A and B are shown apart, each in its own frame.
Chain A
Amino acid sequence: MKRRSPRLRIAASPCHSFKWGMKLAKDIRIGVFVCDCGSNIAGYLDCPSIAEYAETLPNVVFVKENLYTCSEAGINEIKDAIKDENLNRVVVASCSPRTHEPLFRESCAEAGLNPYLFEMVNIRDQCSWVHMQEREEGNEKAKDLIRMGVAKATLLQPQEPIQSEMDPKSLVIGGGISGMTSALALANRGYQVYLIEKTKDLGGLLRNLSKLAPSNIDAKELIAKQVEAVKNHKNIQLFTSSTIKEIQGYIGHYDVTVSTNGTEEKFGVGVIIIATGARVFKPEGFFNYDGKRVITQFELEALFKSKKFKSKNVVMIQCVGARDEERKYCSRICCLTAIKNGIAIKEQNPEAKVHILYRDIQAYGTENEALYQRSKQLGVRYIKYDQEKPPEVLDNTVKVYHHLLGRELELEQDLVVLSTPLIAGEDNEELSKLLRVTLDENKFFLESHVKLKPLDFATDGVYLCGNAHYPATIREAISQALGAASRASIPLAKGTMTVEPIVSVLADEEACRGCGLCVALCPYGALEIAQTEKGRKVRVIPVACKGCGICAATCYVHALSINSYTDQQVEEQIRAFLSG
Chain B
Amino acid sequence: MCTGRVDPTMIAEAFINDADGVMVVGCHFGDCHYITGNVQGQIKVGLAERVLTYVGLSPKRVSFDQCSSAEGERFVKLVTDFNQGVRELGPLGNGDGLPAPELKEKLSIAKTILAKEKLRWVVGKFTVFVTEGNKYGEVFTDHEMWRTLDTIVMDEVATHQIMRELGQEAVAVKDLAARLKLPAPDVLRYVLALQRRELVDLDGVEGNSPRYKAVGPTAQVA
Interface of B is mostly: helix
- Docked Cα-Cα span, A555 to B115, in Å, equals 9
Number of A-B contacts (CB under 8 A): 92
In the assembled complex, how far is the CB of residue A114 from the closest CB belonging to chain B, in whole angstroms?
21
- Docked Cα-Cα span, A254 to B32, in Å, equals 25
Contact of B5 among A523, A553, A557 (CB under 8 A): A553
B178 at the interface (CB under 8 A from A): no
Inter-chain contact B6/A574, CB cutoff 8 Å: no
Q: Which of B1-57 touch A at CB < 8 Å?
A: 1-2, 4-10, 13-14, 17-19, 30, 33-37, 40, 44
B120 at the interface (CB under 8 A from A): yes
Inter-chain contact A562/B17, CB cutoff 8 Å: no
Contact of B2 among A19, A520, A549, A571 (CB under 8 A): A549
In the assembled complex, how far is the CB of residue A504 from the closest CB belonging to chain B, in whole angstroms?
10
Q: Quick one: closest A residue to B34, CB to CB? A: A548
Inter-chain contact B117/A553, CB cutoff 8 Å: no
In the assembled complex, how far is the CB of residue B179 from the closest CB belonging to chain A, in whole angstroms?
29
- Docked Cα-Cα span, A403 to B67, in Å, equals 38
- Docked Cα-Cα span, A565 to B123, in Å, equals 21
Which residues of chain A have C-beta atoms less than 8 A from B115's C-beta?
A: 558
Interface locus among B124-132, B134-142, B199-207, B214-222:
B124-132
Inter-chain contact A440/B5, CB cutoff 8 Å: no
A363 at the interface (CB under 8 A from B): no
Inter-chain contact A579/B17, CB cutoff 8 Å: yes
- Docked Cα-Cα span, A438 to B27, in Å, equals 15
A550 at the interface (CB under 8 A from B): yes
Count B interface residues, CB 8 Å.
33
A493 at the interface (CB under 8 A from B): no
Are A521 and B124 CB-contacts (below 8 A) given A440-B30, A567-B9?
A: yes
- Docked Cα-Cα span, A458 to B124, in Å, equals 23
- Docked Cα-Cα span, A438 to B39, in Å, equals 14
Which residues of chain A have C-beta atoms less than 8 A from B127's C-beta?
A: 521
Are A549 and B14 CB-contacts (below 8 A) given A458-B35, A556-B116?
A: no
Which residues of chain B have C-beta atoms less than 8 A from A546's C-beta?
A: 34
Contact of B35 among A523, A549, A565, A579 (CB under 8 A): A523
Which residues of chain B have C-beta atoms less than 8 A from A562's C-beta?
A: 5
A39 at the interface (CB under 8 A from B): no
Are A565 and B1 CB-contacts (below 8 A) given A523-B34, A553-B44, A556-B124?
A: yes
Residue among B13, B19, B35 with most chain A CB within 10 A: B35
Interface of A is mostly: loop
Inter-chain contact A554/B35, CB cutoff 8 Å: no
Inter-chain contact A567/B7, CB cutoff 8 Å: yes
A333 at the interface (CB under 8 A from B): no
Q: Quick one: closest B residue to A564, CB to CB? A: B1
Q: Quick one: closest A residue to B2, CB to CB? A: A548
Inter-chain contact A556/B121, CB cutoff 8 Å: yes
Inter-chain contact A575/B40, CB cutoff 8 Å: no
Inter-chain contact B10/A550, CB cutoff 8 Å: no
Inter-chain contact A548/B37, CB cutoff 8 Å: yes
Inter-chain contact B5/A548, CB cutoff 8 Å: yes
Q: Quick one: closest B residue to A549, CB to CB? A: B5
Inter-chain contact A578/B18, CB cutoff 8 Å: yes
Contact of B123 among A438, A548, A554 (CB under 8 A): A554
Inter-chain contact B35/A438, CB cutoff 8 Å: yes
- Docked Cα-Cα span, A567 to B6, in Å, equals 9
- Docked Cα-Cα span, A83 to B124, in Å, equals 46
Q: Which of A340-369 touch B at CB < 8 Å?
A: none
A228 at the interface (CB under 8 A from B): no
- Docked Cα-Cα span, A111 to B27, in Å, equals 37
Contact of B17 among A436, A518, A523, A575 (CB under 8 A): A575
- Docked Cα-Cα span, A78 to B128, in Å, equals 48
Q: Quick one: closest A residue to B18, CB to CB? A: A578
Which residues of chain A have C-beta atoms less than 8 A from B124's C-beta?
A: 517-518, 520-521, 554, 556
Inter-chain contact A553/B35, CB cutoff 8 Å: no
- Docked Cα-Cα span, A550 to B126, in Å, equals 13
A524 at the interface (CB under 8 A from B): yes
Residue among B5, B36, B118 with most chain A CB within 10 A: B5
Chain B 161-185 interface mask (CB, 8 Å, partner A; 1/0): 0000000000000000000000000
A72 at the interface (CB under 8 A from B): no
Which residues of chain B have C-beta atoms less than 8 A from A521's C-beta?
A: 36, 40, 124, 127-128
Q: Quick one: closest B residue to A459, CB to CB? A: B35
Inter-chain contact B35/A570, CB cutoff 8 Å: no
Are A578 and B121 CB-contacts (below 8 A) given A458-B33, A550-B37?
A: no
Inter-chain contact B125/A517, CB cutoff 8 Å: yes
Which residues of chain A have C-beta atoms less than 8 A from B34's C-beta?
A: 458, 523, 546, 548, 550
Inter-chain contact A571/B10, CB cutoff 8 Å: yes
Which residues of chain A have C-beta atoms less than 8 A from B125's C-beta?
A: 517
Contact of B10 among A517, A520, A523, A567 (CB under 8 A): A567
Which residues of chain A have C-beta atoms less than 8 A from B8's C-beta?
A: 553
- Given A441-B30, A554-B120, A579-B17, 13 additional A-B pairs, CB 8 A: A458-B35, A520-B124, A523-B34, A523-B35, A550-B37, A552-B5, A552-B7, A553-B44, A556-B116, A556-B117, A558-B115, A570-B5, A571-B13
| List of 4 A-B pairs having minimum Cβ-Cβ separation, nearest first | A549-B5, A548-B34, A556-B120, A523-B35
24 contacts between A and B (CB under 8 A): A440-B30, A441-B30, A458-B34, A517-B121, A517-B125, A520-B128, A521-B124, A523-B34, A523-B35, A548-B2, A548-B34, A549-B2, A549-B4, A550-B2, A550-B37, A550-B40, A552-B5, A552-B7, A553-B4, A553-B8, A553-B40, A557-B117, A565-B5, A567-B9
Q: B-side interface residues toward A, CB under 8 Å?
A: 1-2, 4-10, 13-14, 17-19, 30, 33-37, 40, 44, 115-118, 120-121, 123-125, 127-128
